[in-house]
Chains A and B, each alone.
Chain A
Amino acid sequence: AQSVSQHNHHVILSEAASLELGCNYSYGGTVNLFWYVQYPGQHLQLLLKYFSGDPLVKGIKGFEAEFIKSKFSFNLRKPSVQWSDTAEYFCAVGGSQGNLIFGKGTKLSVKP
């Protein structure tokens, strides 16, 4: 069965620090990969997605992610975080039923 691992449960950064959140998935075939963000008290919103093509994917709000097939990874990055980036971040892989298989999430706290 497909699975997704997110390495960090809680990350605390100061504003302007760089961010990298790890994500590894288990499935070795063609994958659709996603990063969703959940701001406090809100629903999940799509940050970025990878289906095929350029492995460096750019999303909203300055986020990007790199698909590395040989490492089964899809890490999320941002060069300089802001206080408003405080949220929980979920990596997900597309399942065979059209569903999403989520990692457990990483909470990001950005100190002003």
Chain B
Amino acid sequence: NAGVTQTPKFRILKIGQSMTLQCTQDMNHNYMYWYRQDPGMGLKLIYYSVGAGITDKGEVPNGYNVSRSTTEDFPLRLELAAPSQTSVYFCASSARGQRASYNEQFFGPGTRLTVL
């Protein structure tokens, strides 16, 4: 199992450009998440999905969009990049199970994005 994979690893964007961060998992997990990590701030939830065709906003969704057409893939789209979106982005997934277990998440290696 590759687990959770993300591409690209690094990217520099100019203000106003758009891009898609890719995330794929091969563990057949129903739940998938996008977080951003800023220095000294921990991780903040951007969007999440409980299954194919279902997505919902997290704590910091503004400026982002997601889609979930398959169980495996959960891309994150930045439409008009802004300097405030400079961050490290982590995708994660978890299995659908009993309440006690479904929070355990597996993380991808991250995408480091700089917007200039």
Contacts and interface: CB of A to CB of B under 8 A. Distances in A.
A-B complex is real = yes
A104 B39 CA distance: 9
A97 B48 contact: yes
Given A51-B100, A97-B56, A43 B42 contact: no
A44 B103 contact: no
Contacts, number: 63
A99 B45 contact: yes
A94 B45 CA distance: 12
A105 B90 CA distance: 15
B94 A98 contact: yes
A42 interface: yes
A100 B103 contact: yes
A26 interface: no
Contacts of A98: 31, 33, 48, 50, 94, 102-103
Contacts of A99: 33, 45, 48, 58, 103
Interface stretch (B13-21, B63-71, B104-112): B104-112
Nearest to A49: B104
Contact of A44 (B41, B58, B90): B90
Interface residues of B, number: 27
B48 A103 contact: no
B43 A32 contact: no
Nearest to B42: A102
Contacts of A94: 102-103
Contacts of A42: 109
B40 A104 contact: yes
Contacts of A43: 90, 107-110
A74 interface: no
B42 A46 contact: no
A25 interface: no
Contacts of A105: 40, 42
Contacts of B1: none
Nearest to B102: A98
Given A43-B90, A43-B109, A98-B48, A51 B101 contact: yes
Interface of B: 31, 33, 35, 40-45, 48, 50, 56, 58, 90, 92, 94, 100-110
